[in-house]
Amino acid sequence: MALSVKLRQVDEYRWEIPREGKMRTRGLIFASQKMLAKIQEDQSLQQVANVATLPGIEGASLAMPDIHWGYGFPIGGVAAFNLEEGVVSPGGVGYDINCGVRLLRTNLERPEVEPRVGELVNALFGNIPSGLGSRRKDLKLTVPTLHEVMRLGAGWAVKNGFGSKEDLDHIEAQGQIPGADPELVSDFAMNRGKDQLGTLGSGNHFVEVGYVLETYDEKAAAALGLFKDQITVIVHTGSRGLGHQVCDDYIKVMLKAAQKYGIELPDRQLCCAPLSSPEGQRYLAAMAAAANFAFANRQMITHWVRESFEQVLQMGPRDLGLELVYDVAHNIAKIEEHQVHGKKKKLCVHRKGATRAFPPGHPETPAAYQKTGQPVLIPGDMGRYSYVLVGTEQALTETFGSTCHGAGREMSRKAALKAARGRSIIQELKAQGIIVKGAGRATVDEEIPEAYKDVETVVAVAHGAGISKKVAKLKPLGVIKG
């Protein structure tokens, strides 16, 4: 049963939870009137209010339009904390540390690829291990090598021949979060990750071959190298068992730390430690190590995507033009500089199920996108579409440079399985011209399109509120599911 919180409409796209009780700031939710009824069915708005009680929070406790109930923080939650009194919370990052999305463009057009999509899906499924606990038999890492992966991130993959220097220029933080310390990652976490590099995993993770259905801003689309009917590839995965275990390990640490430092919690799942404390610093260093593993993971998968295309289409890299548009994290806590009351201030920005959306001219926006703003990648579900947007100045001033990260679930996995009973989801999607291959029937059934909000409505709010700007809409042709 959802708890009731007071809500005040600010405008068409914004709703405020007024500051009351032990809240140190207000809550600010980006949503349409229509979406609000569904949002109010779970406890996610109460979670927004709970986050607002944490020490050192700056600005509002924010929620993006894909908000739904999560561990401690809502999924779609954003909160920034100052480095003096502020805290870091594993619940504000999530279990899948640096789950994220990358988009690849090609020189190919839909008519030449569509007849071969079945072959491509089979090749991708054969080359990229997927499903619960999926592992690579051909890439088992020693402890020293795994440490190097966790320090260097995507750079480790490129150094070892899996991609190019140009790839790194098109990844958030160039694919390496600074300050990673693999020594602070438990042996158990290491053991879970040692043969999972280059694997998709399970749940909502996927590799999708699609095409550009529509462009909204020709100039921005051209700057991102996108054009109508162009074949694209999306990769969505994270840090696998390693990141999950890092989160699990540090939740135990943070439960003790919150007590030790006298932090009052409205919900134990918000367990945290001061950013200045040894526990806070250790978590940030272990989280960065897991985040770097995730960047390396997506880079390795990209290598096998390129190989799969070469294999099926019998074309070389130059003809294929499988280049990285961008790779963005959506479960992370990062130290960033932001303007607070007119002054530059270093903050720890938690984005959980939220994407960075920096504007044109920002020093952390890649050189190629200085005029357009940082690309923002919003995947939908396997039956509808995904979106490419760019960051805006409005996002920087209002949401610490953040926007939504996806469609957001509307059904639990259990409810989705029930809704899919007696149906063949793979056949239904095939009838729509989308070929899907999953590790098992349940994997596909849990991810039925109706389990998610319509991503178009989510993106309409982000675009309407000005916290990111629509560039292109992508449609799936073939999908491999985790």
Place of tokens 């998709």: 200
For residue 383, the tally of other CB atoms under 10 A from its CB is 18
CA 403 to each of CA 69, 73, 144, 349: distance values in angstroms, whole numbers, following the listed order: 17, 16, 37, 13
pLDDT tens column, 97-116: 999 999 999 999 999 999 99
Q: Taking 90 as the threshold, does the pLDDT of residue 91 lie above it? A: yes
Q: Which of 195 and 19 is assigned the larger pLDDT? A: 19
Question: Which residue of the set 147, 236, 405, 463 is catalytic?
Answer: 405
What pLDDT sits at residue 119? Answer: 97
Question: Span 70-87, mean pLDDT?
Answer: 97
H/E stretch holding 28 reads: strand 27-30
What's the chain's length in residues? 482
How does pLDDT run across 439-474, given as a tens digit for each residue? 778 888 888 888 887 899 999 999 999 999 999 999
Residue recorded with tokens 């870091």 = 88
* Residue-wise DSSP of 24-52: SS-EEEE--HHHHHHHTTSSHHHHHHHHT
pLDDT tens digits, one per residue of 384-400: 899 999 999 999 999 99
- DSSP-H helix ranges across 314-401: 317-320, 393-398
What superfamily would CATH give domain 8-481?
tRNA-splicing ligase RtcB (3.90.1860.10)
Q: Where are the alpha helices (DSSP H) in 314-412?
A: 317-320, 393-398
Q: Are 215 and 391 in contact (CB under 8 A)?
A: no
- Residue 405 a catalytic site member: yes
Angle, alpha carbons 94-97-99 (nearest 5°): 100
Full-prediction pTM beyond 0.85?
yes
